[in-house]
Amino acid sequence: MPPKKKARKRPREEEKTESALASSVLSAVTCPISHSLAVQPVLAEDGQCYEREEIRKWLEKKNTSPVTNERMGTRLVDHVAGRNLASSLIASGAVDAEAASAWHLASARLKIVGKLPGGLDSAKEHLLAARPPPEHTATDQSPACETLLEACELRERMTAVVKRGNELDVGIEVERLLASTLTHTFNGITGKQMTEFRDDLVPGQSMVRVIDDEDKLEILHKRANLTWFQEKSEVCGEAMTVERLLPSRSGYILGGWIIPYRACILVKL
């Protein structure tokens, strides 16, 4: 039997080259503002990759590049390849455990509110990936991650209960019980007027209720420097689907009208 060949040790120069390459790739998908691996990466007009929310906030106040300090516009393009690259870097072990956990948790949160594609099942996969291994200590993200996973489990249990109810011909009653409980629970959270603009609302999905006070609605329009029309009083007290978020962050378009966010009560995300 021929002697086994000894495993060839990789030259140190080769390891250094690979390490430098991984570092360079990681830098290409790290936001220069947050210094974190981009979760929702976009390419700005300066050719740099940024976290969408970070560069959006920057460009609201400045018209220069955070990297070059040169003047640039506000056009942002989704960097799909950049997100795939970030995912590959995490899978290869090129990203430390805590940063990888933070990336997965942030990905899950954006998918839950519809800001990233993939849906709720994909969001749960990210939450499971965000969990630290049993041998590691919990991270700062752990409580939020576990809470969202618990919510996923509740959602699955509710779906199963509704399905079983339908099979037993009590589906309507089951749905009514669950809807009543959820409405009562969330009214305590969402039953008040907004005090700040929410950019997590999803056009075509999220719903808000306009305050049922015409005089106050007119006052809030003036405070927000929005044009008031008497016809807008028709939406008072109405629950409406959000059609669009205003770039100025002053309100939302509901039923074709611009309504200030302070006149809105969140009904559904």
pLDDT band for position 200 (cuts 50, 70, 90): confident
Percentage of the chain exceeding pLDDT 70: 86
Mean pLDDT score, 86-96: 93
Look over the chain and give the mean of its residue pLDDT values, rounded to a whole number: 88
Q: Reduced to 3 states, what is the DSSP secondary structure of residue 50? A: strand
What's the confidence (pLDDT) of residue 142?
84
Q: Nearest Cα to 244, choosing from 229, 254, 230?
A: 254
State yes or no: pLDDT of 172 exceeds 90: no
What's the confidence (pLDDT) of residue 3?
57
State yes or no: pLDDT of 183 exceeds 70: no
CA dihedral 217, 221, 227, 231 (to 10 degrees): -10
Q: Nearest Cα to 131, choosing from 98, 96, 176?
A: 98
Contact 123, 144 (CB under 8 A): no
Query: What number of residues does the chain have?
Result: 269
Q: Nearest Cα to 265, choosing from 182, 189, 191?
A: 191
pLDDT band for position 175 (cuts 50, 70, 90): confident
State yes or no: pLDDT of 141 exceeds 90: no
State yes or no: pLDDT of 164 exceeds 90: yes
Q: Nearest Cα to 72, choosing from 59, 85, 82, 61?
A: 59
- The pTM score is 0.69
Q: Phi first, then psi: what are they for 33, rounded to 5°?
A: -90, -50
